[in-house]
Amino acid sequence: MSGLVAVTGATGRIGRRVVRHLAEAGAPVRALGRDQEKLAALPEKLAALPAEDTRTASYEDAEAMRAALDGADTLFLVSAHEGPGRVRTHATAVDAAVAAGVRRIVYLSYLNAAPHATFTYARDHWHTEQHIRSTGVAFTFLRDSTYQADLAAMTSPEGVLRGPAGDGRVAAVAHDDIADAATAVLLAAGHEHDSATYDMTGPEALSFVEIAAALSRASGRTVSYVLETRDEAYASRAVYDAPDWEVEGWITSYEAVAVGEMDDVSDDVRTLTGHPPQSFEAFLAAHPRSYRHLLPPD
């Protein structure tokens, strides 16, 4: 690796880890984020990161993004929050990076991103990938599976995991493994990862019945998986009063599992990092806070 690495989403679950790893490796790194207060606290939490190496910018603000990326050689682009205009938001950030002189983009994408993917958010990732390709800059795509922490969070406090996932399987991955893989790509010398797409998955594909069983063992209470039809899934989520596009994203994430679009098991994490990806059981053992809503109050 040569040159400055700019990391977006630097106060988030992936970006924060990547910033820390790069700083600890002695690599020149600049942390970007939208929340000025959180970003200002980052150097205090990461002793290896100088305070002047933070920038506040949002993807939608092309001018701010271009200024924040001035002098950067590589951009680690964490995908923006879901929304109906997310592809346009990503394109604005990518175009700002190119205008600033960024020569490589490492983009955090999604497993089996495709224009007609069942999971609606995965379509956004495919269109973003195509836009990055069209710029002519070097790129690497890291396509995440579902996060292991999100499987725990999707379980209700009553111990129910519900959705139209059928008997499909998902090879969920840990945030730590994604950050390790991204750091390895960002630190690599030369062009060995240029134009590469890596699938970031856990070591095994589990059904939702098996996921519920693992949560039961970890929490000490019964967690069950309730299979829903599409109509039942929409009805059970009506209480959240969320916008249509968001509810569709929630439900199609389960449907993608049901049709076999999430059962890929890849060895790319091991290839990039030199260590195996964490299993769901190991994640739960290491992160009891992820299922604290399932535990009885103190």
Residue 282 in domain = no
CB 250 within 8 A of CB 150: no
Counting DSSP H helices and E strands in the chain, the numbers are 12, 11
Burial classification of residue 129, based on how many CB atoms lie within 10 Å of its CB (0-12 exposed, 13-18 middle, 19 or more buried): buried
Question: For the whole prediction, is pTM greater than 0.85?
Answer: yes
CATH number at residue 90: 3.40.50.720
Q: Is residue 51 a part of any domain in this protein? A: yes
120 is a domain residue:
yes
List all residues 6 or more positions away from 134 whose beta carbon is below 8 Å from its beta carbon. none
Task: Give the residue numbers spanning the domain of 67.
Answer: 4-145+175-200
Residue 218 in domain: no
Give the whole-angstrom CA distance, residue 162 versus residue 224.
Answer: 8
Question: Which helix (H) or strand (E) segment is 44 a member of?
Answer: helix 36-45
Q: Would you say 160 and 221 are in contact if contact means Cβ atoms under 8 Å apart? A: no
Largest pairwise CA distance in the chain? 56
- What is the full per-residue pLDDT of the chain (298 aa) written as tens digits? 469 999 999 999 999 999 999 999 999 999 999 988 888 888 777 777 776 688 999 999 999 999 999 999 999 999 999 999 999 999 999 999 999 999 999 999 999 999 999 999 999 999 999 999 999 999 999 999 999 999 999 999 999 999 999 999 999 999 999 999 999 999 998 899 999 999 999 999 999 999 999 999 999 999 999 999 999 999 999 999 999 999 999 999 999 999 999 999 999 999 999 999 999 999 999 999 999 999 877 6
- Contact present, 269 and 181 (Cβ < 8 Å): yes
Q: Is residue 54 part of a domain?
A: yes
Give the dihedral sign, CA 277/280/282/288. Answer: positive
Q: 3-state DSSP: the chain helix, strand, coil percent, rounded to 5?
A: 45, 15, 35
Answer yes or no: is 62 within a domain: yes
Q: How many domains does the chain have?
A: 1
In-domain check, residue 255 = no
Q: Which two tokens stand for residue 44?
A: 């205090």
Q: Is position 217 within any domain?
A: no
